[in-house]
Structure 1
Amino acid sequence: MVRIAGKPILGHILTQLVETEIEEVVLVVGGPMKDQIREYVMAHYTDEFDVSFVNQENAQGLGHAVYQARDVVEGDTALIALGDMLFNNGYGTFLEAHRDLPSVDGSIGVKEVEEPEHYGVVDVGEDGFIRGLVEKPDDPPSNQAISGVYIVQDTPALFDALEYLIANDIRGAGDEFQLTDALQRMVEQGGTLGTFEVEDWYDCGRPQTLLEANRVLLSNLDTNDGDVDQAVVIPPVDFGTDVDVVGSVVGPNVSVDDGATISNSIVRNAIIGREAGVTDVNLCESIIGDNASIEGKPYSLNVGDNSVIDL
């Protein structure tokens, strides 16, 4: 639930989905944040969608997560979006690109990358259909990386493939049940999968990419100065509620979550979490988690939630 540019990453994803024809959203939740996710979505998006929640008791990969939604989704066309991926061109663009494809059982967003061995990769035949998929291969068949958005029309075939993997304990990269492997089985069983191009793609599970997404999203917002009158604010900046900033320079490209404090510091190109404290530091290209406390001299830091650092 990292907040950037005024809302959590999940909020940016759901806001993009509001602009499409999608009417129902199923969220697969688990871990310590699941109650917070439920509360946030119920407070902000139930007027926009028919919302359902499905629990994933044990995280065993993306394929396993998608399989948990089988009883809610099977039979309907599904757009599968990952909770840590943001896209500039938006889900409406992806749905339109999918409709423009010849008759397919599904389609996958892809982007050319320089190091495909770090991603799931597709091999596309001359007919434009996917003939193979592999997760983080040592010898990639192409540089077309899977970007983390999928549109599946034949959801029964997808869930059959996932059930086959899970029932036979066929695990892929990371010893997890991979959605990529289920889609590969669909192809092997005669399914047709196409691709559509993804332009700007931000994997927010990576610190530097999260900071880049923050910069891009802030550039599209008017600076929210909050209730800050003892600081120099250099746009674009977004402050949450009850933020206390004293004797500091904040910005550009800074998101500050609710209840955070910044004192006698310079903060730029950074994300400051809820109830975090920053004192006497010069921060740049940094992510400070919720309830973290930073005191000392300038460093570039990526600090987890509930951390206390004395520099």
Structure 2
Amino acid sequence: MNLIVPMAGMGKRLRPHTLTTPKPLIPIAGKPIVQRLVEDIAAVTPEKIEHIGFVVGDFGPETEVQLLQIAQAVGATGHIFYQQEALGTAHAVHCAREVLQGRVTVAFSDTLFKANFTLNTEDDGIIWVKRVEDPSAYGVVNLDIEGVITEFVEKPKNPVSDLAIIGIYYFKEGEKLRDQLDYIIEHDIRASGEFQLTTALENLKKEGVRFTTGAVDEWLDCGNKKVTVQSNSRYLGFLDENIISDSAVIEGTVIIPPVYIGDGVKITSSVIGPNVSVGAGSEIRDSRIKDSLIQNHVNLKDINLVNSMIGNCVIMEAKPAEVSLGDFTEWKG
């Protein structure tokens, strides 16, 4: 089994956090989004993942090293591929055509999920879906009475289905997908100005590939600050326990689960939780924090936060109720 993770987007809706950290490396419950995704895919895949192709933009060597380490942690060999220009989902996957061999899963990096099934690798293809209230913003699928996909529709103006494609796909024969992507790009076949993966899926279906669906229990978005904080809270709930580093020092503090507290954190005279992640090396004093995502080496004093997202190396001694602060910000009342 090979895995392709397209992740070259700039994450503009999550600024200022993505000005210094690529969106897939924003932590959710203490781990980068992309690491959570890779681990969750590995958990539902009965076969060992051999190769992982990460499709990136200009993220720099440190990020690339981190991605290769994420692959290594699940026993796979990591590969870095570059998408220099945002030309659509099909183009992003095509950038990693080298690993489109044999059984392949494609998982876009801003997708986190909760699922209770094991991937059936003998199926021709599986498209993971979730029912949504407004399908017009997504690619959707139609099914026949046997649950086989009969149609792929990209962002329908008129609702044809409420089964939205969440961004995770399985192909028994990656070479067939590779050939379709080659054809689409060589012949400049675009939809809405971009090379769309749904075009390749529709062509594969016409050639006889039988696609079924894999339904997820929950689909977590990490597109902007609000939904990223919500996704952090939901993922902490999935873990069903507090995760507190042995090196954390917590004094005179009430912890309300679920929380994640990283290495070297110091918390005194505070109330933390529920649904709070605190990154490594942070210090919190005389504060009340809930439903918030705090990254590494943050210093907070005498604050009351809810539904907030704090970047790395922030110093904050003020009294706002809800904020979104990027890395290296200093705010004193």
TM-score range, shorter chain: 0.7 to 0.9
Shift of residue 34, structure 1, vs aligned partner: 5.5
Query: Which amino acid in the other structure matches residue 215 of structure 2?
Result: E
Equivalent AA in structure 2 for residue 270 of structure 1: S
Specify the SS of the correspondent of 1:169.
coil
| In structure 2, distance between residues paired with 1:229 and 1:3 | 25
User: Kindly tell me: are residues 109 and 252 of structure 1, through their superposed partners in 2, closer, same or farther at Cα, counting changes over 3 Å?
Assistant: same
Q: Is the 8 A contact 2:39 2:74 kept in 1?
A: no
Give yes or no for the alignment of 1:109 onto 2:128: yes
CA RMSD of aligned residues (A): 2.7
- Are 1:129 and 1:192, in contact at CA under 8 Å, matched by a contact in 2? yes
- The structural deviation recorded for 1:47 is 5.5
SS in 2 for 1:133: strand
Match of 1:210 in 2: 228
Q: Is the 8 A contact 1:241 1:257 kept in 2?
A: yes
**Does the 8 Å contact 1:108/1:151 carry over to 2?**
yes
1:148 Cα offset (Å): 1.8
Structure 2: distance between partners of 1:28 and 1:116: 28
Structure 1's consecutive aligned runs of 4 or more residues displaced over 6 angstroms after TM superposition are none
Aligned partner of 1:178 in structure 2 is 196
Q: Relative to structure 2, which stretch is displaced further, 251-260 or 186-195? A: 186-195
Q: Tell me if 1:118 matches 2:145.
A: no
Structure 1 residue 22 corresponds to structure 2 residue 78: no
Contact 1:272 1:288 in 2 (8 A): yes
Residue 161 and residue 48 in structure 1: after superposition, are their counterparts in 2 closer, same or farther (change >3 A)?
same
Partner of 2:271: 249
CA distance in 1, matches of 2:111, 2:179: 26
Residue aligning to 1:39: 65
Deviations 1:191-233 (A, max 9, x none): 3322222221112234444333322332323341622225332
1:83 aligned onto 2:84:
no
CA contact (8 A) 1:59 1:65 kept: no
- In 2, the alpha carbon distance for the partners of 1:204 and 1:94 equals 24
Indicate whether 1:282 and 2:304 are aligned: yes
Task: Tell me the TM-score normalised to structure 2 length.
Answer: 0.79
**Structure 1-normalised TM-score?**
0.84
Q: Distance in 2 between matches of 1:142 and 1:262?
A: 47
150-159 vs 286-295, greater mean Cα deviation: 286-295
* Identity within the alignment, %: 33
Deviations, residues 119-169 of structure 1 (Å, cap 9, x unaligned): 111122345332221222211311111122111123222122222232233
- Structure-to-structure mapping, 1:215-294, within 5 angstroms: 215-219=233-237, 220-224=240-244, 226-294=248-316
8 Å Cα contact 1:28/1:66 also seen in 2: no
Aligned partners of 1:276 and 1:290 also within 8 Å: yes
How far the C-alpha of 1:189 sits from its partner, in A, is 4.1
2:169 matched residue in structure 1: 150
Q: Given the superposition, is the C-alpha separation of residues 228 and 176 from structure 1 closer, same or farther in structure 2, using an over 3 Å criterion?
A: farther
**CA gap 1:78/1:276 in 2 versus in 1, 3 angstroms:** same
Give the one of 177, 187, 203 matched to 1:168. Answer: 187
* Number of the residue aligned with 1:65: 92
Choose 141-150 or 49-58, whichever is displaced more.
49-58
Q: For the structure 1 residues 176 and 28, does the alpha-carbon distance in structure 2 shift closer, same or farther, using more than 3 Å as the test?
A: farther
| CA separation of 1:139 and 1:295: change in aligned 2, threshold 3 A | farther
2:148 corresponds to 1:129: yes
Q: Gaps spanning 5+ residues in structure 2: where?
A: 1-24
Structure 2 counterpart of 1:70, which letter?
R
Per the alignment, in what secondary structure is the counterpart of residue 145 of structure 1?
strand
Amino acid at match of 1:211: V
Alpha-carbon distance between aligned partners in 2 of 1:169 and 1:305, rounded to the nearest angstrom: 40
Paired residues in the alignment total 302
Change (3 A) 1:43 1:130: closer
* Cα separation, 1, equivalents of 2:330 and 2:155: 35
